[in-house]
């Protein structure tokens, strides 16, 4: 039984501290936005979770390719970890976005490119888990998962571009004049700092969660192995 690596423990502590600091920056340090008021503070975590969500999906697609080339099961665990953690973060992003959208746009949900793409991406990765659940054999599950993660990674950006042809009201984050009219805002220096603190904190948290999930995958496999030994 391998014990928890030291570096991972350090990472855990760092992510707790990081999220604490980011919370402070978002709720206290950052100035209140003039038009939208306090609800805009949700933005810092919204961007933080969206960022790691997106990174995770790119990581998943890339590790899918690496798995197909190397056939090394470690990459499969990497891919599952990335998709699982990102699916969760992306869900949080969507919820936080809704909370922000309610006062800003006067609606919980709107079929804007970013929102729709987020929803479609989330559906792709739910389908990913359903696909995996339907396959018994680990090697085939890994292979199909990798193929689907790759397809999902390819289609998401095109989805975004297509939906942009329909309409958009989502603020382009760092505002132009027209963005401001749609609920965007100009970021002051303190706001920018808070945003980057949040990005950093979530990145650390993401790496730490990924690591935990990869370890869990390894342990799961070990359990299966032991079960097999007992039954023989």
Partner 1 sequence: MKEPTPSFFKAVFAIAHKDLAAEFRSRELLSAMLVFSMLVILIFNFALELDVKVRQSVTAGVLWTTFAFAGTLGLNRSMAVEKDRGCMDGLLLAPVDRSAIFFGKAISNLAFMLVVEAIVIPLYAMLYNETRIFQWEFLGVLLLGSIGYISVGTLLSAMSVQTRTRDVLLPILLFPVAVPVLLASVKASGGIVAGLPFEEILAPLNLLIVYDVIFLATSFMIFDYVVEE
Partner 2 sequence: MIEVKKLIKRFGLKTILKGLDFTVQPGEFVALLGPNGAGKTTFLRILASLSRPSLGSVKVAGYSLPNESAKVRARLGVVSHMPLLYPDLTAEENLQFYARMYGLQNQASRITEVLGMVGLEARRKDLVRTFSRGMQQRLAIGRAIIHDPEVVLFDEPYTGLDQDASEMLDEVLRSVAAKGRTVVMTSHDLARAEDLATRFDVLTRGVIVSSGSREDFKNSNLLDFYKKALEA
The binding site for partner 1 (CB under 8 A) comprises: 68, 120-121, 123-124, 127, 130-131, 133-136, 140, 143-144, 146-148, 150-152, 154-155, 158-159, 161-163, 165-166
Rule CB under 8 A: is residue 139 a binding residue for partner 2?
A: yes
Instruction: For residue 74, give Cα distances in angstroms to 26, 70, 84, 187, 228.
Output: 37, 10, 15, 42, 20
> Which of partner 2, partner 1, none interacts with 57 (beta carbon under 5 to 8 A by kind)?
none
How many of the chain's residues bind partner 2 (CB under 8 A)? Answer: 7
- Closer Cβ to partner 2, 70 or 107, answer by number: 70
Q: Residue 124 in contact with residue 156, Cβ under 8 Å?
A: yes
Rule CB under 8 A: is residue 138 a binding residue for partner 2?
A: yes
Q: Does residue 183 come out as left (phi exceeding 0), alpha (psi in the -120 to 50 range) or beta?
A: left
CA distance 187 to 135: 48
CA distance 39 to 35: 10
- Closer Cβ to partner 1, 26 or 163, answer by number: 163
CB of 57 to partner 1, least distance (A): 13
Q: Which two tokens stand for residue 164?
A: 């942009």
Rule CB under 8 A: is residue 190 a binding residue for partner 2?
A: no
Q: Residue 181 in contact with residue 169, Cβ under 8 Å?
A: no
> Which of partner 2, partner 1, none interacts with 215 (beta carbon under 5 to 8 A by kind)?
none
Identify residues 209-228 at the interface with partner 2 (CB under 8 A).
Answer: 221, 224-225, 228
- For residues 25-52, one letter each, b for 16 or more C-beta atoms within 10 angstroms of the residue's C-beta and e for the rest, the string is bbeebbeebeebeeebbbbbbbbbbbbb
> Which of partner 2, partner 1, none interacts with 190 (beta carbon under 5 to 8 A by kind)?
none
- Closer Cβ to partner 2, 41 or 77, answer by number: 77
| Beta-strand runs (E) in the chain | none
CB of 228 to partner 2, least distance (A): 6
CB of 184 to partner 1, least distance (A): 23
Q: Which residues pair with 37 in a beta bridge?
A: 33
> Which of partner 2, partner 1, none interacts with 124 (beta carbon under 5 to 8 A by kind)?
partner 1
Q: Is residue 106 classed as helix, strand or coil in its secondary structure?
A: coil
Residue ranges in contact with partner 2 by CB under 8 A: 137-139, 221, 224-225, 228
């Amino acid at each position: 039984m391998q014990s928890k690596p030291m570096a991972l423990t350090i990472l855990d502590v760092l992510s707790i501290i990081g999220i604490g600091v980011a919370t402070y920056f978002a709720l206290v340090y950052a100035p209140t936005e003039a038009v939208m008021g306090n609800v805009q503070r949700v933005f810092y975590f919204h961007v933080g979770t969206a960022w790691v969500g997106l990174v995770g999906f790119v990581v998943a697609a890339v590790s899918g390719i690496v798995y197909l080339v190397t056939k090394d099961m470690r990459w499969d665990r990497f891919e599952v970890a990335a998709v699982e953690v990102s699916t969760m973060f992306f869900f949080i992003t969507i919820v936080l976005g809704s909370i922000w959208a309610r006062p800003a746009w006067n609606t919980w949900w709107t079929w804007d490119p970013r929102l729709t793409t987020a929803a479609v991406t989330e559906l792709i990765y739910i389908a990913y888990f359903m696909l995996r659940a339907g396959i018994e054999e680990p090697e085939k599950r890994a292979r199909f998962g990798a193929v689907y993660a790759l397809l999902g990674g390819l289609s998401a950006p095109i989805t975004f571009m297509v939906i942009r042809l329909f309409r958009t009201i989502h603020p382009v984050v760092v505002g132009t004049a027209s963005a401001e009219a749609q609920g965007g805002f100009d970021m002051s220096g303190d706001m920018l700092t808070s945003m980057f603190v949040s990005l950093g904190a979530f990145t650390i948290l993401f790496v730490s969660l990924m690591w935990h999930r990869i370890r869990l995958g390894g342990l799961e496999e070990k359990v299966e192995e032991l079960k097999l030994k007992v039954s023989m």
